[in-house]
Amino acid sequence: MSKNITRRDFLKIAGITTATATAGIYGCTSKAEKALELNASTPVPKGKMTYRTQPKSKDKVSLLGYGCMRFPTVPNPDGEGELVDQDVVNELVDYAIEHGVNFFDTAPVYVQGFSETATGIALKRHPREKFFVSTKMSNFRDFSYESSVKMYKQSFKSLQVDYIDYYFLHSLGKTGDTEFRERFIDNGVLDFLLKEREAGRIRHLGFSFHGTQEGFDFAVAQHEKVHWDFAMIQLNYVDWKHATAPRNVNADYLYAELEKRQIPTIVMEPLLGGRLSNLSNYVVSRLKQRNPEGSVASWAFRFAGSPANVLTVLSGMTYMEHLQDNIRTYSPLVPLSDDDKEFLEETAKVIISYPTIDCTDCKYCMPCPYGIDIPAVLLHYNKCVNEGHIIDNPANEEYKKSRRAFLVGYDRSVPKLRQAKMCIGCDICVPTCPQSIDIPKELFRIDRFVEHLKQEKS
């Protein structure tokens, strides 16, 4: 063999050396850092899910919980409205269980009332011990004992189970303590539920919270008597320190109060209904610079999963890609460093400087009796805020482009008769919003903006 190395050989050798060097570097990286490099091109890991333990029952709960509030829907073949797309739901649930998710959260009111049944159908196809299911007492309008108990019993039928693992008093705290008293104490419903827990039909009893600090404090104070097995709060890196006070409470306070009493925390809205993944390009580039391979949403999930007292983080996953992304993030969880937390706090400050509306697309306000598609209007507005299309000065260079994007996009996202213009301001939706958005006020504001654009006023 010739001793002279040809050009091609040299390149070959150089290539091999580089490859080895790279492998060496990878070999040195920690498991944690490797987990951060998972993206859509890597296989979704199986058997690596992080689990947390419920101290009383020793339930091993997956850190990722499946929220059944945003199940995919298809148009009703009969023509009227929409139905849950059961085939897709089954696929999603099967996939989730296969990849270690074992917590499924629903409520009688979700997805136009179809969620419990759809969840029941999907879970029925799996052994009962493979999953934990949670549902809620959503007695928002009719507080009577009879109706509340009826709702409770119906959940068993819809879910096709003979015990419920986690049962919620749904959405406490809006009006201080009055609502809690009316819905659960004065009518004897709470006593009934405590008996059910004793009988084993409810394995864990807890509550979900939306509202003022006063309301939260009152609910937590009941711990002495009730012994909450868990509580659900809205926790994400924006609400941690920047909840829209005084209507909403910072999550750091809520979490600390629960931790103090060792009440396991279930997290809702880790992503604010997608708002923390659908960010402006500026914020996205900020997050991507810190971890180019991780998804934007993974930051929010790592933040929500990092506190040790968090039992599970619920995510309402409509698409397979969301589910896969979240499984990657929690298989296993790479907890945030203090630096990371500081970085997200700075990011949160940038996010709240954008004038988006706090809608999380939960659809509690729907259906509007006058046909307005409230979440669609608010989300379109938010999208335009994030894309920089809220410009009402015709002298601005970008005005024409933004105007068209806003108006054409508006008609695409919301049919004319369901737009903000048709809101009559009856205020029926106002008490239903868990984010305490003054919906009619926002709709009027958006409509005034639309009129400005249409008339090209400055």
Partner 1 sequence: MLRKIRLLTAIPVFVIITLLFLDFTGTLHKWFHFLAHIQFIPALLALNVGIVLFLIVLTWVFGRIYCSVICPLGVFQDIIARISRLRKKLPYSYSPALSWLRYGVLAVFLVAFVAGLIAGVSYFLVPLLDPYSAYGRIASNLFAPIWLWGNNLLAAWAERVDSYAFYRVDIWIKSTLVFVTAVVTFVIVAVLAWRNGRTYCNTICPVGTILGFISRFSLFRIKIDADKCNHCTLCARNCKSSCINYLEYEVDNSRCVACGNCVGKCKRDAIGYKFVGMRITQISTNIEKNPRESVQSASSACNESRRNFLAVGALLASTAVLKAQEKADGGLAVIVDKKIPKRNTPIVPPGAAGLRNMTQQCTACQLCVSVCPNQVLIPSSNLSSLMQPELSYEKGFCRPECVKCAEVCPTGAIKHIAKEEKSSIQIGQAVWIKQNCIVLTDKVKCGNCARHCPAEAILMIPSEAGNDNSLQIPAVNTEKCIGCGACEYVCPSRPFSAIYVEGVERHKVV
367 binds partner 1 (CB under 8 A): yes
- Judged by CB under 8 A, does residue 319 bind partner 1? no
What is the closest distance, in whole angstroms, from the C-beta atom of residue 449 to partner 1 in the complex?
14
- Comparing CB distances to partner 1, the nearer of 13 and 417 is 417
80 touching partner 1, by CB under 8 A: yes
Q: Quick one: which of 238, 384, 423, 439 contacts partner 1 (CB under 8 A)?
A: 423
**List of E strands, 280-389:** 310-315
- Can residue 394 be called a binding residue for partner 1 (CB under 8 A)? no
Q: Is 280 in the site for partner 1 (CB under 8 A)?
A: no
Residue 188 as a binder of partner 1 (CB under 8 A): the answer is no
Is residue 321 classed as helix, strand or coil in its secondary structure?
helix
How distant, in Å, are the alpha carbons of 68, 119, 149, 321 from that of 203?
20, 19, 17, 32
Q: Can you tell me the distance from the alpha carbon of 271 to that of 279, in angstroms, rounded to the nearest whole number? A: 11
Residue 370 touches partner 1, criterion: CB under 8 A: yes
Distance in angstroms (rounded) separating the CA atoms of residues 63 and 330 = 7
Subset of 146-175 contacting partner 1 (CB under 8 A): none
CB atoms inside a 10 Å sphere around CB 25? 9
Place of tokens 């938010």: 382
- 141 near partner 1, rule: CB under 8 A: no
- First vs last Cα of the chain: how many Å apart? 81
| 431 near partner 1, rule: CB under 8 A | no
Residue closer to partner 1 by CB (options 342, 456) is 456
- Measured from the CB atom, the residue of 112 and 244 that comes closer to partner 1 is 112
Which of 136, 204, 328, 363: binder of partner 1 (CB under 8 A)? 363
- DSSP-derived letter for residue 333 is B
Q: Which is nearer to partner 1, 14 or 424 (CB)?
A: 424
Angle at 436 between CA 284 and CA 247, to 5 degrees: 95
Task: Please list, residue by residue across 51-90, b when 16 or more beta carbons sit within 10 angstroms of its beta carbon and e when fewer do.
Answer: bbebeeeebebbbbbbbbbbbbbeeeeeeeeebbbbebbe
Count of residues in contact with partner 1, rule CB under 8 A:
39
Contact status: 441 vs partner 1 (CB under 8 A):
no
Listed ranges 144-152, 229-237, 243-251, 417-425: which one lies at the site for partner 1 (CB under 8 A) = 417-425
Question: Contact, 232 vs 207, CB < 8 A?
Answer: yes
∠ at Cα 281 (444, 72), nearest 5°? 65
40 binds partner 1 per the rule CB under 8 A: no
Answer for which of 73, 117, 312, 382 binds partner 1 (CB under 8 A) is 73
What is the residue-wise DSSP string for 65-108? EEETTS--EEE-TTSSSEEE-HHHHHHHHHHHHHTT--EEE--T
Distance between CA atoms of residues 380 and 414, nearest Å: 8
Region of 24-32, 87-95, 222-230, 404-412 interacting with partner 1 (CB under 8 A)? 404-412
Q: Between 236 and 435, whose beta carbon lies closer to partner 1? A: 435
| 368 near partner 1 (CB under 8 A) | yes
Q: Which residues would be at the binding site for partner 1 (CB under 8 A)?
A: 73, 75-76, 79-83, 112, 363, 366-371, 373, 404-405, 408-409, 411-412, 415-418, 421-428, 444, 454-456
